[in-house]
Amino acid sequence: MCSSRAMTYLILLFFIILPQATTAQVSHWQLGGNGLAWSENDTTRLFVDFESTPGAIQPTYFTPEETVFSQIDNWAFWRDPSDRVFDYLDGETPRMWKWNHGIPDPSENGSWLIDADPATYNPPKASDVEKETFTMDVAVPVPAVAFGFIPPIEGFRSDGTPLKTDFIPAFQVTAATVSEPPVIEGNVNPLSTVLADVDNNFTPEVRVDFERQYLRFVRYRRQISLLDEEREVNTIDNLSSVALLGTISEFQLFAEGVPQRSIYKTKITDIGELVNFGRLFWKGTAFRMVDGVPVKTPDAQAVLKIEMRTGRDESPAVFHEYMDTGLERVVSRDYFENNLRTRFLRVHAEADLTERQPKPGIRASISYDADNWTFWSAPFVESGQPISLNSGSYLQLRITMESASFDDWVRLDSLWIETAPLLAGDVQGELARLDDPQPARGFTEVSLGEMTDFVYDLKADFETVDAPGFDLLRIRTGNRTQFKSLQLGEGLLDTAPTEVTEEADGLLIRLPERITRANNPPLRVVFGTEVFEFATNFHSEVLDTEREVLPQPVVGADVSEALSTNSLRVLGISGESPNFVQDLNISAPVFTPNGDGINDELNISYALYRLPSAVPVVLDVYRLDGRRVAQVEIGQQDSGPQTLRWDGRDANGALLPPGIYLTTISLLSDFSVAPQFRTVGIAY
């Protein structure tokens, strides 16, 4: 039983804690664990395992007993579905197509050949046999170990021969990890890796085993055999009138291990109200398959990458229909999908696709609703990072589970996002140079590396929400920043801030009065800083010292007639063309990746300059005759010094043979980069 003194202490403690508790307004939106179920909240699930650990997701671990194709349910049947299949994204949607007489053709019955049903099949055609191929793209590289095909389990040829004994007398199977040019002079290229080239086969069921390697594309071509030629000689008509020998019911791709990437994309989720977003957290566990048993492995060669976007309406897509003027008008998604015709048509069976005349009833463009949605964020690779996206009432996540080893992966147990109510309906900012507030070109340009004074106007909207307001402003320039002045009110009078902190990457300004619905004066800050990047946004946010809430981002907009940039973006200029990759160096002219622990890896250092955002970077390796023999993905990188290590292997994990090679760093972006080559020797 509590004493009266103890009871008094508890009562006092309650009243001390109570005011703090009532001001704490940070909540958590959770997916997985005790939150929303993974399996009920996705739009894309590419090789994602929901069953091994209830409440968590992880990459599918393929075994040689089950085909990869049987684990795919969202095939697209076009070589280039981006203009024909709604929501198609390369690297997320598997596809299967055929070439017909040199024309990229949807495989009308292609679904029968990868549906895991041995009773369905495509009757083989005979015309221009070697120009008809089937190509399967599983969207991401998988650790393949075998490819094959089987005949139907039932049915007969016209001569009474059972289809289950019908063999393919000659065929070729090729594969690749990355996309390759499809055509040379009207014919289909074999892919770079030849898995089988058989001109004398008598087995109905074919399985081609090979060393485990990452493959994404597999191409099957039926080839002319001696048996085909004999049949042609013995017929009155040419070969096109004869049903080909051999019938395929199922193509089969077998793998062992996890894919290089597994992708999970959530539905667009309605949070129910406009909120600010804080930090993104997750809980994950790394594993390695050892003798068929998953073992927790903290140093597994696998990572999680999580991207996020937020919005203020239910879709980031804007759909259009052509009008009779040839211009476009906005329509609903339902009308676009169900009432309008596609832009493409085929005038006869063997013709290529052509585009219809723009007119009413024809689908026009699908654009991005940048007014109401943010673009996808840069990938988060560490739990606990601030999201730094605009406030919104809708969100969507794209989760990529990457593996650099056949047998390593990360299981994602759960993730959660901090949310809190808005401080204002919108907080808008506009930035310009102090000496050029209305630039002729409409955007702010500064000389790289020179101290420049900026003027920054801010306004808050309280008309749309009942929000408490704010009293702190943080401006992030990315560099040391000098505060010059604060101006408030209709006359923008100089006003002393309560406090100014010059942080390592910007300013933190405590305003002399709270900005609320009842007190919402124009606000201007003048400051000086240097810019070192080609393009950057001066990200800003407002905060509230009276409540435990999250910062609210400031969005670029038209704030003041005195400024004309309508944004917070700054472009850096110099008298020279930008050289984005500089200072490329290698650790040794020769290295020996033979596994003895001595000089096994090449250390490469370089610097990236003036990038507007993180971009994908790759290491390209060429033979002296100019042929590229390896392209190794490094990942997303931003401006600044960088290092990497290369073990002498190509993207498939195979060691390059001894010799002299040229190495260079390339950016997978729209930037033009003059290559810097460094010569390196591989010896064993």
With beta carbons less than 8 A apart as the criterion, state whether 437 and 455 touch.
yes
- Residue 309 pLDDT > 50, yes or no? yes
Rounded mean pLDDT, 318-339: 91
Rounded mean pLDDT, 162-170: 91
- Residue 471 pLDDT > 50, yes or no? yes
- Residue 317 pLDDT > 70, yes or no? yes
- Residue 508 pLDDT > 90, yes or no? yes
* pLDDT for res 146: 98
Rounded mean pLDDT, 635-654: 81
With beta carbons less than 8 A apart as the criterion, state whether 315 and 393 touch.
no
- Residue 533 pLDDT > 70, yes or no? yes
pLDDT, tens digit (0-9, with 9 covering 90-100), for 359-411? 899 988 888 898 899 988 889 999 999 998 999 999 999 999 999 999 999 99
**3-class DSSP state for residue 278?**
strand
Q: Which of 12-16, 104-108, 504-508, 679-683 has the lowest average pLDDT?
A: 12-16
pLDDT, tens digit (0-9, with 9 covering 90-100), for 216-246? 999 999 888 887 766 655 444 444 445 678 8
Nearest to 659 by CA among 634, 630, 618, 619: 630
Domain 426-573, CATH class in plain words: mainly beta
* pLDDT for res 534: 67
* pLDDT for res 349: 53
Model's pTM, two decimal places?
0.75
* pLDDT for res 205: 95
* pLDDT for res 237: 47
Rounded mean pLDDT, 174-198: 78
Neighbour-count burial for 171-208, b at 16+ CB within 10 Å, e otherwise: bbbbbbbeeeebeeeeebebbebebbebeebeebebee
pLDDT band at residue 558 under the 50/70/90 scheme: very high
* pLDDT for res 36: 85
pLDDT, tens digit (0-9, with 9 covering 90-100), for 588-635? 888 888 877 788 889 898 888 767 667 888 898 888 766 788 888 888
pLDDT, tens digit (0-9, with 9 covering 90-100), for 565-588? 999 989 877 655 557 787 788 888
Between β-strands 206-222 and 133-150, what pairing exists: parallel, antiparallel or unpaired?
Answer: antiparallel
* pLDDT for res 110: 77
| Those residues with Cβ within 8 angstroms of residue 349's Cβ, 6 or more apart along the chain or in another chain | none
Rounded mean pLDDT, 193-211: 94
Distance of CA 90 to the CA centre of its chain: 9
Tell me what the pLDDT averaged over the chain comes to.
85
* pLDDT for res 69: 95
pLDDT band at residue 4 under the 50/70/90 scheme: very low
Rounded mean pLDDT, 13-30: 55
Domains of the chain by residue range = 27-58+263-315+373-421, 62-255, 317-368, 426-573, 581-682
Rounded mean pLDDT, 103-124: 75
Distance of CA 597 to the CA centre of its chain: 35
* pLDDT for res 22: 40
pLDDT band at residue 419 under the 50/70/90 scheme: very high
Quote the CATH superfamily of domain 62-255.
Galactose-binding domain-like (2.60.120.260)
> What does CATH list as the number for 27-58+263-315+373-421?
2.60.120
- Is it true that 62-255 and 581-682 share their CATH fold? no
Rounded mean pLDDT, 260-279: 94
SS3 content of the chain, % helix, strand, coil (to 5): 10, 45, 45
Nearest to 168 by CA among 110, 45, 281, 251: 251
Tokens for 398?
């794209």
> What does CATH list as the number for 581-682?
2.60.40.4070
Higher pLDDT, 423 or 20: 423
Report for 105-114, 129-138, 490-499: range of highest mean pLDDT:
490-499
- Residue 58 pLDDT > 80, yes or no? yes
